[in-house]
Structure 1
Amino acid sequence: MLPIAVAVWTVALLCVFVPAAAGWCALGSGCGAIVVLGIVLKRREHAASRAGLIVVLGIVLKRREHAASKAGLIVVLLAAAAAVSIAAMSAMPARDSAASWDGRVVEVTGEVTSSASVGRDGRLWMEVQLTGIGSPGSVRGASAPVRVGIDPADGFDLGATLRVKGEAAATDPGERAALVVFASTASVEVAASGAFAVAADARSAFIERSTRLPEPGAGLLPGLAVGDTRAVSTELNDDMRTSGLSHLTAVSGANCAIVVGAVLWLAALCGAGRVTRIIAAAIALAGFVVLVTPEPSVIRAAVMAGVAMLSLMLGRPSAGAGMLALSASGILIADPWLASTAGFALSVAASGALIMLSPSLTRGLARWMPQPLALAIAVPTAAQLVCGPVIALFAEQQSLVGLAANLLAAPAAPIATIIGLLACLAAPLPLLADLLAASAWLPAAWIAHTAGITARLPYAQVAVVPGIASAALVGIVSAAVGVILTGACRTVPVVRGASASVIAVMLALGGAHVALNGPLASATSPDGWSIAACDVGQGDALLVRSDSRIALIDTGPEPEPLAACLRSLGIEHIDLLVLTHFDLDHVGGVDAVQGRVGAVLHGPPGESGDERMLQRLADGGAAVTLATAGMQGELGTASWQVLWPQRGSEVFPPGNDQSVVLEVEGGGVPRALFLGDLSAEAQRMLARTAHLRGSYAVVKVAHHGSADQDFALYQDLRPVVALFSAGIDNDYGHPRAESLASLEAAGARVLRTDQEGRLLVGLDGDELQLWTERQPP
């Protein structure tokens, strides 16, 4: 089954990423299967050919070396490849029809097919199977999977029929949803009914009961027990991801395995036979799936976990691998787009690790510790080693504390899951449900504390470039660790020596990375800077320093680049955070300074997610204030003043043209103006109303140097240095040639983060000092 699963997965990936290839794959695989089958049938007088026919019909031969069995394997392989190609090809027209609404305001109707979860933007996201789509008021029939984001509300449960109006955006090839809809309005047309409604009510009651308990742990408990993450705070969710514990906050194979394992243990304790135990575990797993919503990811996790636990109970890992491959093949034929999802790959990898690797790791670790402890360590270790390369294919971060965090959380996770699940089921008995929920809270709080502490350890995660190269590197290291821990290849000193060398090299490189990015991070940074433009890609993150007081203007699109810049400059605390506006390239990295900010000035918020971001900063101890023209303050011995948005700027919607414009001078800071993302029209209004006077030593050019500039403004400002904050090879062509030429014509020295990396500006008497991270081309 393994070659068949690999073939099905490969063909599925090809079909979903290159849709035009689906027809050719179906034709080629189908014709190949017919040709091979014809050859086998033509030689029916030979016993081998009859054996081949038997293989085609699905009966496994004991003598696999026969040529007929090989022919049968080829026929099944080609038939499976044809099946997944046909499945992909048949879904294409409906998906293309849905994707044709890209960039338009649409009205859609459909049935919710997943549980809802809160995204980083504050919206409630769910999968929906379309039944209709069209312009508002003219919905036509349709059938395709879409992803819908709405403002948080009740009633959007699995099985409910909803109606949504909003802006649509087509997804990239390979994504399971054909369309993403950002809802402006949403309503439930038909509420969930039957078992789905009962399960939804039970989950809601459990969430309400859990959230009455103290944090941390209260919001996490429903995620651990029934996979409902709506009560998990954004900060805790990020900590779980950083610490490698995020698989516990949703229904994964681990949750299903815990349920199955608990039922098997309880049935064995009652003296039940093997068949009875398997039946009881299957019934319990089916009930668990219904309770936590039988969405595709849950069914997938249940199948994988069931196969893994069954194979371990039968003591036949090789048979388990075959069953796992069969399950994966069937799931991919039913939904080829799962081949490109990280969740499916991780489910298969983790289940495979549980079946194939954990027994060897247990035996290897048992050489140095008791068997129960070896088993407890082996299971999460096997999952981490096998899943690491898969994670490196998709994620831009690799957790370095994941193994330790999982080992610490391992004893608490099954307790919280089982007792929390019982508390959910005991809802009709409030006293018993309260007692069970309180009992489950303690291990949930332990996991939440574990996530918070490990996520805040130095170098809890490292940035990587997702892709095959990173996956190969992580795979080599994982293989080396596996060889050492399992004691494999003890009779082949070369392999053991190579594995030890790989680990030694990685530890040395890791130690060097820690030193260079930790104690030595700021050793190569000059002391005389007062303005810094961090290289955070396509986005803004600028620092102003006066007498050891720090202001940060915007945070860039991601936390890690900003965190690296702050480390390199030796900055631990931000006295003033200015969020000019709430576009992702200006506020996406705010988590890098969460809990380390004294005060926040911000532009007008536009969405509910903006308000939630400000509330998180306030919860972290920051004083949050809406910026308006005329506001003034001090940063060390420097002074700052808000010049925009002004009265009358309300004609512009929240966003670029209502960016906070800040002027800073004095206290060792050269006179500087930071223009946010203002367009030419807003710049002209600023020039007319802000009474800009004199020249500026430093000007942060608006909107990353786009072409939408009022070049007369820069002539009036007469900047000595013009800072352009842009990313390498960005899709917008920033900074534009005409903007660069205009600033140079105004007499400015042009500095660009996309070419020169981090930019530093200082003041030595009356002269500016400039430092760049790289030489310009």
Structure 2
Amino acid sequence: PYRLLQRITVFITPSQAAAVLSLPLMTIYLLISGSSIPAIRSFIMISLFLFGLLIGRKGFWLNSLLLAAVLISVWDPSALLSLSFQLSFAAVLFIGLAVGCSERSPAEELADPRDKPGEIRGRAFSVLRSSFLISLAASIGTAPLVVYAFHYISLISPIANLLFMPLIGFLLLPVALLAAFVFLFTGHYPFSDLIGPVTDLALKGVSLLASVPFADLKVPAVPVISVISFYGGICLYFFFRQRHGWPQLRAMLVPSGLVFVSLFPVLSGSAGMAVTFLDVGQGDAAVIEASGKTVVIDIGRTGRETGAFLSYLGRRKVDALVLTHADDDHSAGASYLAGRF
């Protein structure tokens, strides 16, 4: 085998050989994952990177990201309106921008332990710093879409990603895929003693972090123009900073101003009283807002519609719940509401 590998490396480099061997495995993973939009995006971007290795050219990550977006849009135009598409590309875009702003890439930082109090500690610090930067960038990049769709901001997600993504991505997922591949040919599912406990550990850890006070922040609904202004402003920020050499603070005024103007109707609020009657199917529910207080009259059968509306308003608690009578279509959702507000 050694002589065979020696002869092969006469024609191609080790990195090119790795690229050739990786493509079939990536295709298998794409099919196993169900060909979801994030998986297709990853497949296209990594394939372009591997193709660059084969032809001896180093590609630019933003070109790969844009090409992946174009190909997915041509294949399925409705994907543009999919939250999965938007979250996936926003996360990768902000990770790329954050890493690109560094004077050196994370790989270069890891390879150069100079000016650090020891090689091992310096490398460990670089890994943690780069990992947290990536996690924070992904959280910030997807925050406007999460706020628009779910009306909350996760404050704990950068730490959760930093703790559990390596566990899932580098241990649990590869072992589970290998076990599934072995099961297809042997009918035996190996590594179950490892996969089960690691999965339980990850789920319990995420649940523990989610239960921390102020792990997330409920916010009122924002207009779609605010989301567009945020992403458009960030693009303008990098344009003016890199093309025109604007100082960082001056360039930051562009996205900040756009977002503030678009959010002004939400931030200004309303000083009067508002009464909203909700469609909860068979039953009644109404929400009264006055003087900063929130009163709910009847809740409906499940309480989910009322809870969704309160999340839309950004409410963290209900000041009073009035039940006109005990019929299920008016009061059965009270426990659901009490557990969340």
TM bucket normalised to smaller? 0.5 to 0.7
Q: CA deviation at 1:274?
A: 0.6
* 1:383 counterpart = 2:138: yes
Which runs of 5 or more residues in structure 2 are unaligned?
Answer: 1-12, 110-114, 117-121, 260-265, 288-295
Partner of 1:424: 180
- Name the aligned partner's letter for residue 227 of structure 2: S
Cα distance in structure 2, aligned partners of 1:312 and 1:592: 54
- Name the aligned partner's letter for residue 333 of structure 1: V
Residue aligned with 1:399, SS: strand
- Name the aligned partner's letter for residue 377 of structure 1: F
Deviation readout 1:672-701 (Å, 9 max, x if unpaired): xxxxxxxxxxxxxxxxxxxxxxxxxxxxxx
Q: 1:397 to 1:557 in 2, by over 3 A?
A: same
Partner of 1:557: 305
1:286-325 equivalences in 2 (<5 Å)? 286-293=27-34, 295=35, 297=37, 300-307=40-47, 310=50, 316=58, 318=60, 320-325=61-66
Cα distance in structure 2, aligned partners of 1:355 and 1:283: 26
Q: CA deviation at 1:288?
A: 1.2
Does the 8 Å contact 1:412/1:446 carry over to 2?
no
Does the 8 Å contact 1:354/1:383 carry over to 2?
yes
1:227-246 equivalences in 2 (<5 Å)? none
Does the 8 Å contact 1:307/1:324 carry over to 2?
no
1:341-352 equivalences in 2 (<5 Å)? 341-352=82-93
- Name the aligned partner's letter for residue 305 of structure 2: P
Residue aligned with 2:219, SS: strand
Deviation readout 1:46-73 (Å, 9 max, x if unpaired): xxxxxxxxxxxxxxxxxxxxxxxxxxxx
Does the 8 Å contact 1:317/1:356 carry over to 2?
no
Residue aligned with 2:20, SS: helix
1:204-223 equivalences in 2 (<5 Å)? none
Q: 1:360 to 1:439 in 2, by over 3 A?
A: farther
Deviation readout 1:125-180 (Å, 9 max, x if unpaired): xxxxxxxxxxxxxxxxxxxxxxxxxxxxxxxxxxxxxxxxxxxxxxxxxxxxxxxx
Say how many residue pairs are matched.
288
Within the candidate set 180, 195, 201, 1:437 is matched to: 195
Partner of 1:340: 81
Q: CA deviation at 1:380?
A: 2.6
Partner of 2:220: 463
1:34-433 equivalences in 2 (<5 Å)? 273-293=14-34, 295=35, 297=37, 300-307=40-47, 310=50, 316=58, 318=60, 320-361=61-102, 363=104, 370-389=125-144, 395-401=149-155, 402-414=157-169, 415-427=171-183, 428=186, 430=188, 432-433=190-191
Which runs of 5 or more residues in structure 1 are unaligned?
Answer: 1-271, 507-512, 514-523, 525-532, 544-549, 597-777
Cα distance in structure 2, aligned partners of 1:408 and 1:570: 37
- Name the aligned partner's letter for residue 128 of structure 2: L
Cα distance in structure 1, aligned partners of 2:235 and 2:205: 25
Larger radius of gyration: 1
Q: CA RMSD in A?
A: 5.3
Deviation readout 1:306-359 (Å, 9 max, x if unpaired): 2576499889452x3333333333333333332332323333333444445434
Cα distance in structure 2, aligned partners of 1:429 and 1:312: 39
Does the 8 Å contact 1:423/1:432 carry over to 2?
yes
Q: CA deviation at 1:502?
A: 7.9
Does the 8 Å contact 2:220/2:314 carry over to 1?
no
- Name the aligned partner's letter for residue 303 of structure 1: F
- Name the aligned partner's letter for residue 43 of structure 2: V
- The alignment's TM-score, normalised by the length of structure 2, stands at 0.59
Q: CA deviation at 1:451?
A: 5.8
Cα distance in structure 1, aligned partners of 2:128 and 2:52: 18
Cα distance in structure 2, aligned partners of 1:569 and 1:580: 20
- Name the aligned partner's letter for residue 174 of structure 2: I
Which has more helix, going by share of residues? 2
Cα distance in structure 2, aligned partners of 1:593 and 1:500: 42
Partner of 2:119: none
Which has more strand, going by share of residues? 1
* 1:541 counterpart = 2:285: yes
Partner of 1:196: none
Q: 1:362 to 1:570 in 2, by over 3 A?
A: farther
- The alignment's TM-score, normalised by the length of structure 1, stands at 0.30
- Name the aligned partner's letter for residue 553 of structure 1: I
Q: CA deviation at 1:469?
A: 2.8
Does the 8 Å contact 2:49/2:58 carry over to 1?
no
Does the 8 Å contact 1:349/1:383 carry over to 2?
yes
Cα distance in structure 1, aligned partners of 2:70 and 2:133: 27
Partner of 1:765: none
Q: CA deviation at 1:570?
A: 3.9
Cα distance in structure 1, aligned partners of 2:39 and 2:105: 33
Deviation readout 1:51-104 (Å, 9 max, x if unpaired): xxxxxxxxxxxxxxxxxxxxxxxxxxxxxxxxxxxxxxxxxxxxxxxxxxxxxx
Cα distance in structure 2, aligned partners of 1:377 and 1:327: 26
Structure scoring higher RCO (CA < 8 A, sep ≥ 6) equals 2
Within the candidate set 228, 249, 256, 1:496 is matched to: 249
- Name the aligned partner's letter for residue 329 of structure 2: T
Cα distance in structure 2, aligned partners of 1:562 and 1:312: 50
